[in-house]
Amino acid sequence: MAAKAKTRGLVAKGVIGQRPKISRGLPTGAILKCADNTGARELRLIQVMGYKGRLRRLPSAAVGDRITVSVKHGTPDMRRKIFQAVIVRQRMPFRRADGVWVQFEDNAAVIITPEGEMKGS
């Protein structure tokens, strides 16, 4: 029972399940490709969920961040609507925990439902 309480305390502090630091390469207003088959082709980043930053600094996102996007190009039923998405690729290089540097050739995201499931496939 004492071990369970200790684990719960560590989770509350954010020690367990902590995300590695990744260079944030996508500021607010960035254009991303849509990497799924929902009908959207181009997305604009309008908000980074859970971002806590400094006054007057543009919020930016990295791979794995949950963001809010608006669809700029795509099918007529998808255009000009706001969705949540997760970033899957970023052009800015970032370093993985094992020491490997990773850089993709474009910025891309996939649209998700409010529950966190992928909207497309």
Q: What is the structure's pLDDT at 31? A: 98
Burial class (CB in 10 A: 0-12, 13-18, 19+), 46: middle
Q: Which CATH fold topology does 23-112 show? A: Ribosomal Protein L14 (2.40.150)
Q: What is the structure's pLDDT at 10? A: 43
Q: Where are the beta strands (DSSP E) in 1-121?
A: 26-27, 31-34, 40-48, 60-61, 66-74, 82-89, 94-95, 101-102, 108-112
Q: What is the structure's pLDDT at 12? A: 42
The length of the chain, given as a count of residues: 121
pTM of full prediction above 0.85: no
Which of these, 109, 38, 32, lies nearest to 74 by C-alpha position? 38
Confidence check: pLDDT of 36 > 70? yes
Average pLDDT over residues 17-32: 90
Q: Provide the mean pLDDT of the chain.
A: 89
